[in-house]
């Protein structure tokens, strides 16, 4: 069995040999730019690992792996327009580099192309895989819509936030794992379990993302610490703090990010002081561990020999940056 690095190398190799049409140039070159812009390839990796864990043919699964990665990159292309985001993975976003119309249309072509790739799975499994892929793709759109709705919503409940990140982030990881299992001929019951494993893992990953944005190390994160606080984003930390803080502290949480009498550093530390007062970082860490342990427990339940689960366990640890 191949380990995470070998799977990734195989995938990058497959991706590199995909021949997109050359014309119209302005439609297809942003797709190439976006797909070769790196990223952790976490969705195709889990798909291929799941396929191999069940003894499936990884070569046959490569097109589906490319499909989920292309779909993910398509969502980034359109999200960047909606968020006016000019930088993606340290480079100009497609939106910033080519403009909005190109980003819309190239994104559309990318989404359609993800189906073009998906269609290369063995025909006997196509219907089952599309019945995972398409509802998953719709859910990702729903998650993005809720995320945008929350920006203008005065009060967001923690449970709504969890549902939003589940839709926006976790279902794509979970659906990828499930597609891999289907390609490995896993039973319906096993497919459901590996879906839940990846769903919990995705939630742990997203909560950790929120935590690191305020409490990570700048060098590791690759971006400025406190970005979410300065943008006044309703993150998991913010919503938990809002639900625990007294009225006076809630005022600080609500208004600090727009307080121009303070420097950015002061704004960040004022909000973090409230987080710390209510022990939010510690609580969030606990929640992350809970999700992560649940994911591992679900992995433990899979009807596979232990050595076949090993790479999926390592995958989870790598994703969370954990040693064990």
3-state secondary structure of 88: strand
Helix-helix angle 280-301:264-277, to 10 degrees: 70
Between 129 and 237, whose beta carbon lies closer to its own copies? 129
> Would you count residue 115 as binding its own copies (CB under 8 A)?
yes
> Would you count residue 27 as binding its own copies (CB under 8 A)?
yes
C-beta of 35: minimal distance to its own copies in Å? 16
Sketch the per residue contact string, 202 through 231, with its own copies: x for CB under 8 A, - otherwise.
------------------------------
> Would you count residue 157 as binding its own copies (CB under 8 A)?
no
Between 3 and 84, whose beta carbon lies closer to its own copies? 84
What the block records as the tokens of 8 is 């990734």
What the block records as the tokens of 99 is 């403009």
> Would you count residue 82 as binding its own copies (CB under 8 A)?
yes
> Would you count residue 116 as binding its own copies (CB under 8 A)?
yes
Site for its own copies in 132-151 (CB under 8 A): 134-135, 137-138, 141-142, 144-146, 148-149
Is residue 145 a contact partner of residue 102, using CB atoms and an 8 Å limit? no
> Would you count residue 18 as binding its own copies (CB under 8 A)?
no
Which residue from 154, 249, 166 is spatially nearest to 202, judged by alpha carbons? 166
Sketch the per residue contact string, 83 through 112, with its own copies: x for CB under 8 A, - otherwise.
------------------x--xx-xxx-xx
Buried-exposed string 291-324: b where 16+ CB fall within 10 A, e elsewhere: bbebbbebbeebebeeebbebbeebbeebbeeee
Between 119 and 269, whose beta carbon lies closer to its own copies? 119
C-beta of 20: minimal distance to its own copies in Å? 10
C-beta of 131: minimal distance to its own copies in Å? 6
Task: Tally Cβ neighbours within 10 Å of residue 191.
Answer: 21
Strand partners, 87: 92
Chain Cα centroid distance, residue 181: 19
Tell which one of 18, 96, 130, 262 touches its own copies (CB under 8 A). Answer: 130
- Spatial distance between the Cα atoms of 145 and 53, rounded to a whole number of angstroms: 34
With tokens 């340290």, the residue in question is: 90
Tell which one of 29, 63, 97, 119 touches its own copies (CB under 8 A). Answer: 119
CA angle, residues 129, 208, 279, in degrees to nearest 5: 145
Residues that bind its own copies (CB under 8 A): 21, 23-24, 26-27, 78, 81-82, 101, 104-105, 107-109, 111-113, 115-116, 119, 123, 126-127, 130-131, 134-135, 137-138, 141-142, 144-146, 148-149
């Amino acid at each position: 069995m191949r380990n995470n690095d070998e799977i990734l190398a195989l995938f990058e190799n497959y991706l590199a040999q995909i021949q997109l049409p050359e014309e119209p140039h302005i439609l297809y070159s942003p797709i190439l730019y976006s797909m070769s812009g790196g990223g952790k390839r976490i969705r195709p990796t889990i798909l291929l690992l799941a396929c191999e864990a069940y003894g499936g043919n990884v070569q046959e699964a490569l097109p589906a792996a490319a499909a989920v990665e292309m779909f993910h990159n398509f969502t980034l292309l359109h999200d960047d327009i909606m968020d006016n985001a000019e930088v993606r993975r340290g480079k100009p976003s497609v939106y910033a580099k080519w403009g909005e119309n190109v980003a819309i249309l190239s994104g559309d072509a990318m989404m359609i192309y993800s189906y073009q790739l998906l269609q290369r799975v063995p025909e006997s499994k196509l219907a089952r895989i599309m019945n995972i892929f398409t509802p998953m793709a719709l859910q990702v759109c729903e998650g993005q819509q809720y995320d945008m709705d929350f920006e203008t919503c005065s009060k967001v409940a923690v449970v709504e936030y969890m549902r939003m990140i589940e839709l926006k982030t976790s279902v794509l990881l979970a659906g990828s794992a499930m597609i891999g299992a289907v390609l490995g001929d896993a039973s319906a019951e096993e497919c459901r379990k590996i879906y839940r494993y990846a769903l919990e893992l995705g939630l742990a990953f997203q909560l950790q993302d929120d935590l690191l944005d305020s409490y990570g190390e700048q060098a590791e994160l690759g971006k400025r610490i406190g970005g979410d606080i300065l943008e006044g984003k309703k993150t998991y930390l913010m919503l938990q703090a809002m639900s625990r803080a007294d009225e006076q502290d809630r005022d600080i949480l609500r208004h600090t990010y727009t307080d121009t009498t303070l420097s950015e550093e002061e704004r960040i530390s004022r909000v973090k002081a409230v987080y710390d007062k209510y022990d939010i970082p510690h609580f969030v860490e606990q929640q992350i561990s809970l999700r992560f342990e649940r994911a591992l427990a679900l992995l433990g339940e899979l009807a596979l020999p232990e050595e076949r689960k090993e790479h999926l366990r390592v995958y989870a640890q790598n994703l969370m940056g954990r040693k064990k």
